[in-house]
Amino acid sequence: MNYFNLLVIVNIFLTAKFFVVIGQFNLSVYRQMPPLYQFDDYDRCLESATVTSNIRTTYCVVYAEIVENETSSLWNQIASFSADRRHYFSHDRLFFGICLERCKRLLHAAVTFPQHELVRNGAIRDTELVNYYFNVHKRETDNRIRYDKMVNSCLNYDFHHNFGLKLRTSIEYCEVANMYLEHDNLDVTVYTIFVIIALISIFSTMYDYRLKKSEILSKQNNEFYKIPLQCSEHQLWVSYSICRNFYHICDTSKSRSQTAEDLRFFDGLRVIGVFLVLFVHSLILFMAVQVDNPQFYETFFYRPETAILENGAAIIQIFFVMSGFLLYVNFNERKFVTNNTSLMDCVVIYFKIFFHRYLRLLPSLMMLILFNSTVLVRLQNGPFWRHYVEAERVFCRELWWQNLLFVNNYLLKESCSHQTWYLAADMQLFELFLIVLITINNINVFGNGIYNLLFETKTNIPYKSGYF
């Protein structure tokens, strides 16, 4: 009962705190500012596929910056909100989705708007972001040249009419009606690989099923898939059997060492850690996509529990610690290196353990890279779809080697599959700690000194990188 009362008190406190924040957050003033995302109806625009005046029905996603105007009270309000980057989005940076057919009609009606206003108000100030878009959307060069002036004029006319402010604009990409991304050689190759794997899996499953049916009637049940086959030829043919691999993964009756049994609780820690990581990443995704109510997330940053989520990156350290601990236990249990091990044998053992781990991770990582570079971009469409997936397609085609060498965590500005930074960091820590273990077990001196040095290093590096 005491625990229940405590939970009620905590909930009341958090709720009261949240409503205090909402009270301080003037929603009516907030709504006077331009929306962060202003998108025309994407489907309606491209469904009306007509060709007029050499402009096919086209939908463009545009990045825009509001031109500074200190005489405008609205601009001063926008600048004030944008200055607090810890809690608010940059409200002077906007995204537009504009249908060029509507844009053309709007400019034809803009007879009362001064022509000198229908021009570009200087170049985008954030050159790093614009250059990034240019690198990602290389096939949009012609569209930028063709539509840049019209889009800039259209948005400035509309924006000046509604808010009395001007814009600097840059086209990120355009979608043209009835024009689709063509398949290239890499697409065909990846599709072929996936089809071959699927066919092999189907054949292996059918072969395994045939073996089961060849048994006596009492053994023709699912227990057959749990029993290892004695014939090496049969083992090879059923390697890709879906049924056998499913039961192999779910089998908890396999004999394991006493150490492995003692460390079974690590599986629970992994599940909890993965759940927390997915939870935080889903929240980050919602903060990155276009939403109609960004004020929800901006007020969310004032809530006490948000401080925990903002420091959620520390959860990843749990996986690094578990990985290092398991390497330590496994290495010492198997006694790969002793005082009598020669230097050449130590080198051989190092590369043997390293490549065992590297080759175990490589196939899955390669499949992810191939999928992201070909299939992912075709799974959906929409005004903001390419904004998120085009970078995966481009960088996984051009910079795939960073992932295969496990160095992409140092090159995240232009990186394929950002989430695999963890694999790279874990691999690097694995290599370093493996060298430490081999050295300590071979020399058998300075062990405590080396561990103390590693502890001080891992403590000082985050501190200095965070505060200096």
Residue type, 28: S
Residue 228 has pLDDT above 60, yes or no: yes
- State the pairing for strand pair 93-99/37-39: parallel
Mean predicted lDDT score pLDDT of the chain: 82
Instruction: Let me know: does 68 contact 80? Beta carbons within 8 Å.
Output: no
Q: Strand 58-66 to strand 37-39: parallel, antiparallel, or no bridges (unpaired)?
A: unpaired
Q: How confident is the model at residue 20 (pLDDT cuts 50, 70, 90)?
A: very low
Question: In angstroms, how far is the first alpha carbon of the chain from the final one?
Answer: 48
Domain coordinates in residue numbering, the chain: 32-176, 185-250, 311-467
Rounded distance between C-alpha atoms, residue 81 and residue 23, angstroms: 16
Question: Do the beta carbons of residue 417 and residue 394 sit within 8 Å?
Answer: no
Q: What is the pLDDT of residues 233-245, one digit of tens each?
A: 888 999 999 999 9
**Whether residue 188 has pLDDT greater than 90:** yes
Helix (H) or strand (E) holding 183: none
Residue pair 283/309 in contact (Cβ under 8 Å)? The answer is: yes
Q: 151-190 burial by CB neighbour count: b if 16+ within 10 A, else e?
A: bbbbbbbbbbeebebbbbbbbbbbbbbeeeeeeeeebeeb
* Residues whose CB falls within 8 Å of the CB of residue 54, separated by 6 or more in sequence, listed in order: none
Amino acid present at 45: C
DSSP-based three-state secondary structure for 109: coil
Residue whose entry in the numeric block shows the structure tokens 């009756």: 253
Quote the pTM value. Answer: 0.82
Q: Which residue from 438, 432, 447, 442 is spatially nearest to 320, judged by alpha carbons?
A: 432
pLDDT, one tens digit per residue, over 408-423 is 988 888 888 888 998 9
